[in-house]
Amino acid sequence: MTEENEWGLRPLAPSEADRLRGLAAAVAADLARSGLVVSGQQNQHRETSVGGLRVEVDEFDDAAGGIWLHWEGHPSLREATIEALRGQRLDDPVIAAAGRIQERMASTILCMLGALGYVAEASEDDYRPLAVKVLSAAI
């Protein structure tokens, strides 16, 4: 049995964490074969990512644990969005465009996963808006 850390989070048992990492690798490989650019895993520096699909494996035994897929736009879009937000230009078209792209890519990723036989759902996690959570393997 694994013990809680100082934040009250309990890591998954090693065998379950290994299963989750294996499923994440299979999902990433299938989506890459389908044409998506997989930009890296959860520990890659986001600042240097060229964009594409980022796979996150949350290895804690709680509702937020599991495999999360995030779409990341090109660095120029990310930077333009950040600059608009820093400048408090909330009506800047780049912010709306970036949001629409995130929404549509999440929907596309869900469709692709379904076509590949995976079970997945749109995020309801406030800390992972517009992400996709993979629930089970291809059938």
What ranges do the domains of the chain cover?
14-136
pLDDT tens readout for residues 31-52: 999 999 998 655 455 566 788 9
pLDDT tens readout for residues 93-122: 999 999 999 999 999 999 999 999 999 999
Query: What mean pLDDT do residues 54-79 have?
Result: 92
Return the pLDDT at 85: 97
- Residue written as token pair 């879009």: 77
How would residue 65 be classed by pLDDT, with cut points 50, 70 and 90?
confident
Query: What mean pLDDT do residues 4-22 have?
Result: 83
Return the pLDDT at 139: 66
Return the pLDDT at 6: 63
Tell me the C-alpha distance between 100 and 94, whole Å: 10
Return the pLDDT at 64: 83
Tell me the C-alpha distance between 46 and 17, whole Å: 23
State what percent of residues in the chain have pLDDT above 90: 74
Return the pLDDT at 7: 59
Q: Give Dmax over CA atoms of the chain in angstroms.
A: 50
The region of weakest confidence among 2-6, 97-101, 132-136 is: 2-6
How would residue 61 be classed by pLDDT, with cut points 50, 70 and 90?
confident
E strand spans, the chain: 38-41, 52-58, 66-72, 119-122, 132-136
Tell me the C-alpha distance between 24 and 67, whole Å: 6
